Chain A
Amino acid sequence: MIRLAWRQFRLQAAIAASLLALVAVVVILTGAHLAHLYDRTVAPCASRRDCSTAIASFLRSDQFLQAGLPPLLLVAPALMGVFWGAPLVAREIETGTFRLAWTQSVSRLRWLAVRLGLVGVVTMITAGLLSLMVSWWFSPIDRINLNRFSPGIFSERGITPIGYAAFAFALGVTIGVLIRRTVPAMALTIVGFVGTRLAVTYWIRPLLAAPLKLVTALTMPGTGSGAPPGSWVLSDQTLSASGRVIGENGGVGPNSAAGVVVSGSGAVSIPGVGSCPGVKLPTGQGPDLESPSVEHAFDACVRHHGLRELLTYQSASRFWPFQWYETAIFLALALILIGVCWWWLIGREQRMSSRSERVHTGVVFDESLAPAVGRLDNDPKQGAVAVGRRNALPAYGLARDHDPSWRRLRLDKPPVQRPS
């Protein structure tokens, strides 16, 4: 069976392998250069005190691949679900070849298991290799990226693509099994996959672990920079001295639009909080809010009112646990879908067969009775019926002659139960 499964899949496998090889060549050639560039410019920048320029120039290199590689990993699982998953069973049903495959000396369970197993494993390996290459290529850039939880990074590194690919494949197969037509199944697979990915990214991922909380002095304008480096900041609330939430993202007020207001006389106030006694800015100065004196005045005022910042965040150390959780979620979904396939193609039929056998136990196929009465039937409409040669049947009461030499009799008692 494995040879048939491979024969049916080898063309797709060859296409996937050559595309992977192509990506590998590009990634290895440019990635080595990128790593070298990082070691030469960004790594020693602290000692040379030009980190911001070094990072900016480093991030400008290979911009085409920086933009091009992540989408590759974004669409690869969906493509495999659409082109490998959806037609796997649907095309067999559509072209009628399942009648050929399922009447060979191989059980349907084995047929399904081997085909799903082979293509499913290749799907996961392909996604895993692609993710490995992209993760390696991006590793110098990711050292600069502060937040590795952002959707464009988290979903395109590490092991999550393996889970996505397994899920997309199982989804494609299942939709194909249920609606039995290839092209509609392919379309629905895309819709289902994108929908699930969005739902997990925006609703479920932040809830994978209870977020951490941290209260720091308010820095204005707020940036969440009070959180440990690399954190995924879920919310950044401004608290008053009494602990009331009065704004977010470093701002104050309903829209968090208001910061600090400098009146014409140079007096400083924070709307909704109050004025800042003792803090005065020289008048006539332009609105250069970045100047050190203005920043100093803000800080003094914030301290005066005791404003603080409440950060809710996931720490950088949770990156790998989160990768495992999310991969596990998608693998579990894939297993559930495969269970649905099994039920639809095999379990349902087995249940029907076993139910029909229970009907069957009331029917006597007992040849030992044949010499006496010919045959005993359990007719659902007529009840117990004996069929046999005219002379062989005792007078149970004549029901109907329908054949000159044969006779059907209705029996008063049901036929003998076959011992089970």
Chain B
Amino acid sequence: MTVAIRTKGLGKRYGQRWALSDCTIEVPAGHVVGLVGPNGAGKSTLLQLAVGLIAPSAGAIEVLGRRPAEDPAQLGRVGFVAQDTPAYAAFSIDDHLCLGAWLNPSWDRAVSEARIDRLGLDRRQRAGKLSGGQRAQLALTLALAKRPELLILDEPVASLDPLARREFLQGLMEIVSEGEVTIVLSSHLVTDLERVCDYLIVLAGSRVQVAGPIEDLLANHRRLSGPRRDPRSLPASQEVITMTHTERQSTLVVRTDEPVLDPVWTVEHLNLEDLVLAYMARAQGNETSAQRATGTAAVSP
């Protein structure tokens, strides 16, 4: 398996504050990867480090096997849609397409023009007068028409209304179905990611909480509920993610490759949102309970 983004102990400090610290992560190539985590988890910082907009304060990062933004060729291999999808307000859509053509040797004019026309946008319209959804589509077109190997989107739909959000994700799914481009998409909304992604990374407290193909994650996580018991009595193959106890009852979220055979438990499958929430809750618990040093979760290569 090839790796699109690989980091080791990556950190970024602004003044005294660490926006991202000690982050070790591997993002596989050939997937549509959703990067999800609470606000302030460092998603945006991680993605900006990956496109080379900022430089790491600690650790190392490799994107497609090379340092981010090392040279123009490396810049050309990575497409980026920044948060709030910035565009030059005084430039028309046509100007933006020209900008893309001027600055990228690999620019595909036909793709860019076809995409804008399909969206029904007036090419002479200034970007400053576009709606948020239209501007996001323009930004996606710019990132796409340079024919990147890796497309990184930083919360592209965060500020869009539900309709524009659906249209944008629709466009993204078309791209997914068309080509071999690896896509990394960050969001704090799981429902957005569920529609387009096939691989999920949960980032909380700068650390990878869990990562894997969404199908596998859904298959090997269970919610167990039954009479109250000590979690240490569980079989070794079941890793407890979260547990809540009432006086009589225990509810656990566990990860296991094997079927749960114990008849005491009522076993349920989790949906993706519950799964993500379980890991976020665990991360929060870990941070508060004096850093129990669970370590960075290993990501299967």
Contacts and interface: CB of A to CB of B under 8 A. Distances in A.
Interface in B228-251: 236-239
B57 A352 contact: yes
Interface in A356-382: 356-357, 359-360, 363, 365, 370, 374-375, 377-382
Interface stretch (B59-67, B111-119, B166-174, B196-204): B59-67
The A contact surface, by secondary structure, is mixed
B167 to A, nearest CB: 21
B121 interface: no
- The listed residue with most A CB atoms (<10 A of its CB), out of B24, B90, B103, B139, is B103
Interface stretch (A76-84, A95-103, A222-230, A295-303): A95-103
Interface in A90-132: 95-108, 110
A333 interface: no
Given A381-B22, A404-B239, A404-B257, A95 B89 contact: yes
B31 interface: no
B103 A106 contact: yes
B192 interface: no
A377 B55 CA distance: 21
B281 interface: no
Nearest to B72: A105
A402 B297 contact: yes
Interface string B78-113: 111011101111110001001110111110000000
Contacts of B238: 404
B54 to A, nearest CB: 7
B105 to A, nearest CB: 6
B84 A96 contact: yes
B205 interface: no
A104 B257 contact: no
Contacts of B88: 8, 95, 97, 100
A95 B86 contact: yes
A105 B300 contact: no
Nearest to A99: B82
A404 B55 contact: no
Given A103-B78, A105-B103, A106-B75, A404 B9 contact: no
Interface in A334-372: 348-350, 352-353, 356-357, 359-360, 363, 365, 370
A17 B176 CA distance: 49
A403 B76 CA distance: 37
B58 interface: yes
A107 B71 contact: yes
B287 to A, nearest CB: 15
Interface string B178-221: 00000000000000000000000000000000000000000000
Interface string B8-29: 1100000000000010100000
- The listed residue with most B CB atoms (<10 A of its CB), out of A100, A374, A387, is A100
B56 A105 contact: no
Nearest to B86: A96
A10 to B, nearest CB: 11
Nearest to A405: B257
Nearest to B127: A97
B60 to A, nearest CB: 3
Contacts of A1: 102-103
A91 to B, nearest CB: 10
A7 B99 contact: yes
A400 interface: yes
A103 B55 contact: no
Contacts of B24: 377, 379
B223 interface: no
A362 to B, nearest CB: 9
B89 A404 contact: no
A380 B9 contact: yes
- The listed residue with most B CB atoms (<10 A of its CB), out of A99, A375, A401, is A99
Contacts of B60: 356-357, 359-360, 363
Contact of A7 (B48, B91, B257): B91
B236 A356 contact: no
Given A359-B59, A360-B8, A363-B8, A105 B146 contact: yes
A97 B8 contact: no
A406 interface: yes
A88 to B, nearest CB: 13
Given A7-B98, A403-B239, 4 more contacts: A7-B95, A99-B53, A103-B79, A404-B257
26 contacts: A4-B99, A7-B91, A7-B95, A96-B82, A97-B87, A99-B83, A100-B88, A103-B52, A103-B78, A103-B82, A104-B76, A104-B99, A105-B73, A352-B57, A356-B61, A357-B60, A363-B9, A363-B60, A378-B9, A379-B295, A381-B22, A382-B295, A387-B298, A403-B239, A404-B239, A406-B298
